[in-house]
Structure formats: structure tokens, C-alpha cells
Amino acid sequence: MAKPIVEVSHLRKTYGDKVAVDDVSFAVQPGEIFGILGPNGAGKTTTVETLAGLRTADGGTVRVRGIDTQRHPGAVRDILGVQLQEAALHDKITVREALNLFAGFYANPADPEELLAMLDLTPHADRRFAKLSGGQKQRLSIALALIGNPEIAILDELTTGLDPQARRNTWELVERVRATGVTILLVTHFMEEAERLCDRLVIIDAGNVVAEGTPQGLIDALDDDSTVVLRFAPDDAGRARDVLEQLADSDPEVARVDLAETSPGEVVVTGTRRVLFALVPALAGADLVPDDVRTVARSLEDVFLAHTGRAYSTGTGDADAPTDTTLVLEGGRS
Amino acid sequence: MTATATATPTRVRPSGTGWRGFGRLLRTETAVWLRDSSSVFFGVLFPTVLLVGVGFGIPGMREPITGAPQDSLWYGVTPIATYLPTVLAMAIGTLAILSLPVTFATFRDKGVLRRMSTTPMRPQAIIVAHLAINVATTFIGVALALGVAQALFGIVQPTQLGVVLGAFVLGMLSLFSLGMLLSAVVNKPSTANAVASLVYFPLLFLAGLWTPGPIMPDIVRQIGQFTPMGAAAQAMDTGWFGEGFPLLQYVVMLAYTAVLLPLAIRLFRWT
């Protein structure tokens, strides 16, 4: 493998008593879309902001292209594009003005007009920031992260607040950006987004990395069991459960039978990958015809559950990252 | 793959070039700032509007003062002319104290300063740009007020032009230092508005906006000389109509600058 373009090693960051990032390590290869996935408050944003040299770490090292961004935050500004979570522009600046303004800060900026076209912003180029829709603001925010022709772009929660269609469009856009050779560090709490976009990812929970790998690799590494959900007519549900419980006692392929809590008539059967083979003859023998049979696909949510013992919910974790902390400024007091 | 080819370690450069693109930043910030009609009105037109309004609205403002003793500062001067130093001091304070802190509180609230610090441009540049905009606007507003006053009322030639100019510059330094201190710490635009008003209106009163030069009660003058706006107005009064050097007022303005400006720089919050 090539030398990592981003290396985070045993990063630790606290705000007073609160540990935002406990011990986070990962490495990103050039050209990857690398995900940092976790519930709100897990420490994702703090991690990337420290990586970008915007916050001071309490421990560990962060490097971008071999440069220690804690010691030399200014040295990566030209190669690291950052899209922060919140919108951060004047209400009255137009899209084109903002892009031209930011282009002026960089040594080798991208062509603002090309970026406008790429992000479907050309029709809105003369519109003021306050008049943009949520999706347009997000696209402008991405454009600003890319205007300096960066080698690495940090995109933090870029589809939060977007409707599903806008979200899918943004995903396509991220893939287009990657196709131009930019390494992307994608911060998200959407499992689906990470699964769809990331080549590799870390899952962070309460300031620690709980899993690392490719989305498929993480899912495949889960216990080799499989789950089938059967729906029966209400009259059959009780008998079906009895039959299947007997099967669970006698057949090693079938591990467990539960009634679905929320939907009456549904029976959840867990077992080996061959559990479906065992079910069919048993149901046929008892003349039980399910109305519906579903095999449950594994997802990153199951990976999160397996590693933390908690169901994934975006609201878990600690409070929002504090905003009252000192920002390190190049040429400032650092 | 191009990304791999470029992934060779680079030597660490000294912290960015820092000011690349400052010209464009200044132009863009100016253009955007001008879209806010209230800042344009208060910065550019307000001093003139006030002078014209008072000059024509209040009877006797254009009649030379003859009731004062012949050796007084004010003898033979029109009341509207005596109002000029106060209006000039107010012109500075309007931008420094009403406009600037709201601008920075808005930036901080919206994360503009933070966004800037992710680019090679130093975020300090945006402060410099807005100081430049506000200082330039002060000059434009003052020039307009003087021009209109000259055309409509005929203003008095200052007896000591250097003292007036010095007082004006020191007034700018001390009032902008005070404005920067407010800008440094106020987080929300609404708080900035409230705090700025709480500071601005008492300063206006002590600078003689309601009781200019000749009619200022002694107690207001005594207190006012220790405020930056009041000291600026009084020092300009002396330079314009009187003799001698307004040492106390100069020292007061220098002291405000010397204390408040470093404090503002020290306390300035980026987020």
C-alpha cells in the first residue's frame, strides 16, 4: 500500500472533564473515500477539526501528507479542503462572489466556473447565500472545500438536512469528486451513506474506534448467522411458533425463534446460513403457508450493535461538541 | 493514479503566505457591506442628515452667537458651527461602536471567522478589511458632512487645524479601540446591538449631541472629557474655536487606545 495521506494516531481531546475523543487512530490512503461513522457526539467532528489543525489535541499525533498539523496547521491549508458542518458565509454574498473570493486565497485554485458547473450551481451563481435552498448551500459548501484544488477534502455531515433526492445527488457528486483524484474524508452519522460511499471506514463511539474496515468486510465479519422473518395469517401464528420452536430444539441449523414485538403474526427465526432450508420442509409438513418470507440483510447497523452492544441511534452519545474552545489560528497564538 | 504520485511528503512551509487574495477580500467585503443599507445610511449619510436637520430645524442655529462674552470661544460663531466637532466625533463612534461590533458578532455567530481559518488566508485579514472599510467610511461621511455644512451654513476656519486633525485621529483610535473590544467578545448580533446601544447613547450625550459646545452643562463637560467621544469633541472644540492645547483630552484618548486595543486583541474570540 502507498504511504497514508492522512494518519491519526492515538488522538485524544478533552473539553474540561468531558472526553470528546479518547483514543482514535486510523490511516487514509490516497484516492480513498474514507468514512468516519458514528452517532452524534461520538467525537467525529472533533477528530477531523483537530486533524485540520483547528483544535489543539491533548494527546496523539495527526499528520496530513506527513505534516504534523498540530505543529504546522498553516502548512496544510493549501492541500486540505474543509467543509464545516454549519453554513459560514455572509447572507448577502453571492455564490460566484464567494467562490471567487476563496479562490483568491489559494496558490493553485480550481476554476470557479468549472466548479459551479460541476456542482450544478451555475444557474444560481448570482443568488445571495441567504436565498439558497439547503441543498444549494451544501453544494456551495462543497465547492468551497474544493476551490483550492486540495489533495484531501474533509466533508462533515454534508447531507444532513437534505431530502432523500438531494442526498442521493450529493452522493453522486462525492463520487465524481473522488474520480478527479481527491482523497475524501467523509464524516457522517448516516449508516446508509457510509455503506454506499466509503471504500473504508472507522466506526467511532464515545471517542473510540470500535471497528475499522471496508463496509462489506465489516458486515461479512459478523457472526455467520442469518435471520428470516415469516409473516403468517393471525390464526396460524401461534401454531407456527410452536412448530418452529420444536424445530429449533431438534435442528442445529435453527438457533432461536421469536415473535416480532411490533407486528403481530410475524415470527423471527435466527440460525445458520442454512436456516431457510430447515424451515421450508418443517412448514410444508405442518401445512403452514406464510404470507410473506423475508431474509434480513446485514448492514453496518448490525456491525455497530455487535461492537457496542447497543442498537444504533443517531441521537445517542454525548452532548454536542462544545463550541467555546479555542481555535488554533495560524499566525495566531499557537 | 495521480493522487499516489502527489503523496510524497512535502517539506513543512512556514505558516502559509497569509495575505494572498487580500485585495479581493477587501473588495468583496466592501461590496457585501454596501448591500446593507443601514450601515451605508448611518456611516455615510447620518452625520450630514443630522447637521442639516438641526441647522434648519432648530430656530437660531444659523445666527451668530452674540450673547456670549467677547473673549469666549463661541463669540460670533453660529451654533450650527459649534455643533460640528460633536457631529464629527459622533460620526466616528457610529461606525466604531454601532456598526463594527455587530459585524463581528454576525461573523462569529455564522462561523465566518472559523471558515476563514480553514483557508490559507489569515482570519485576521477580515478584521483588517473591516477596519479599513469602517475607517474609509468615516472619512467619507465626515467629508460629506463638512462639504454640505460649508455649502449650507459656511463653516468656521479652525484656529488650530493641526489640533483638530490630531483630535480627530486620536478620536478614531480610541473609539475604534473601544469598538474592537466590544467586537472581540460579543457573540450574538442581538447582544451586540444591545451592548453597542448601551455604550453609544451615553457617549453621545457626554459628547454633547444634545448640548453642544456653548450650552453644555459643566458637569457633562467634566464627565465627558474622560470618555473617548467626549474628549474628541472637546479637543476639536478647542482646536476649532479656541486657543491652547487640549492636553487632558489628548491624554484621555491616548490612554483609551493604549488600554483597550491590546485588550481587544487579547480577548478576541474566533468562535
- Average pLDDT score over chain A: 86
What residues does each domain of chain A span?
A: 6-220, 226-297
Contact A327 B114 (CB under 8 A): yes
Q: Which CATH number fits domain A226-297: 3.10.100.10, 3.40.50.1370, 3.30.300.30, 3.30.70.980?
A: 3.30.70.980
Half-sphere exposure of residue A203, counting CA atoms within 13 Å on the CB side? 27
Sign of the torsion angle spanned by Cα atoms B237, B240, B246, B250: positive
Give the architecture-level CATH label for domain A6-220: 3-Layer(aba) Sandwich (3.40)
Q: Which percentage of chain A shows pLDDT scores above 70?
A: 93
Q: CB burial class (10 A; 0-12, 13-18, 19+) of residue A325?
A: middle
Q: Say which of B2, B12, B36 has its CB closest to residue A67.
A: B12
Count of other CB atoms within 10 angstroms of residue B220: 17
Cβ pair B4:A86 closer than 8 A: no
- ipTM value for the complex: 0.83
Residue partners of A110: CB distance under 8 A and separation at least 6 = A103, A146, A147, A148, A149
B window 114-133, beta carbon within 8 A of A? 114-115, 117-124
Please say if the pLDDT value at position A328 is more than 50: no
Look at residue B86 in the predicted model and tell me its pLDDT.
94
Q: Is the pLDDT of residue A322 over 70?
A: no
Mean pLDDT over A164-182 rounds to: 89
In the prediction, which pLDDT does A184 show? Answer: 96
- Smallest CA-to-CA distance from B36 within A94, A130, A132, A92 is with A92
Chain A contact probe: residue of B1, B20, B119 with most A CBs at under 10 A: B119
Q: What angle do CA B264, B270, B271 make, to 5 degrees?
A: 130
The minimal CB distance from A92 to the residues B13, B36, B122 is found for: B36
User: Chain A closest CA to B98's CA: distance in Å?
Assistant: 19
Give the start-to-end residue ranges of the domains of chain B: 20-267
B271: nearest Cα among B113, B116, B129:
B113
Question: A102, A131, A152, A325: best mutation site toward chain B, by most B Cβ within 10 Å?
Answer: A102
Same topology between domain A6-220 and domain A226-297: no
Q: Which residues contact A280 (CB under 8 A, 6 or more apart)?
A: none
Measured CA to CA, the distance from residue B179 to residue B8 in angstroms comes to: 47
Query: Between A191 and B255, whose confidence is greater?
Result: B255
Chain A CB contacts of B9 below 8 Å: 3, 65-67
Q: Which pLDDT band holds residue A104 (cuts at 50, 70, 90)?
A: very high
For residue range A128-156, what is the model confidence (pLDDT) as tens digits? 999 998 888 888 998 999 999 999 999 99
The interface residues of chain A toward chain B in range 59-78, judged by CB-CB distance below 8 A, are 65-68, 72-75, 77-78
Residue B153 corresponds to which cell in the numbers above? 451654513
Give mean pLDDT in consecutive 10-residue pieces for chain B, a chain of 271 residues.
37 53 94 88 93 88 80 80 93 94 91 88 90 95 94 88 96 97 91 94 93 86 94 94 93 97 90 76
The answer to whether the CB atoms of A330 and B16 lie below 8 A apart is yes
Ramachandran class of A303: left when φ > 0, alpha when ψ lies in -120 to 50, beta otherwise:
alpha
Of A314 and A152, the structure prediction assigns the larger pLDDT to: A152
Residue A332, pLDDT score = 35
| Grid cell of A86 as nine digits | 454549519
